[in-house]
Amino acid sequence: MFYLYKYAPSDSKTWDIGFMTLESGGFRSVQSFVHALFTKITFLILTTLFYFTARYWWRYFILVPFTMFLFQLSGVLNYKIQYIDEYDFWYSLPIVIPVLVIMFFLGRKLHFYTATLDLKDEIDKELEQIKQEQHA
């Protein structure tokens, strides 16, 4: 997914994919736009997966780079901004805060679900051990 930009035209401002047309926005070519877009999306996916799969207390610190990549993605998609990484933080807060709250809530729910599955596995093992001891 990271190298998808290589398929985009490097000398055009638009790219007709068939089901949609991509425009370069504030970038010099569609290839530059697609590169910036998929770089941010790739890292968003990676940090999201890491956040949801980590079991340690420090997993909440993953929300910091996640917020940064989400912030940068909003800058890529808003082509009226001249400098993407210097995009004003306050403009992205209405997007970033609800997403962080949802991720925090989903992380808590998934943690509860995996903890219950672990507990169920331990109970099943203990019941199997008791069952084997009674047959022996």
Would you say the pTM of this structure is higher than 0.75?
no
What is the tens place of the pLDDT at every residue in 71-98? 778 777 776 655 545 556 666 677 778 8
Find where tokens 């998808």 sit.
4
Find where tokens 């770089």 sit.
39
What is the tens place of the pLDDT at every residue in 7-62? 666 676 766 777 767 677 777 777 788 888 888 888 899 888 888 888 777 777 78
74: nearest Cα among 25, 124, 15: 25
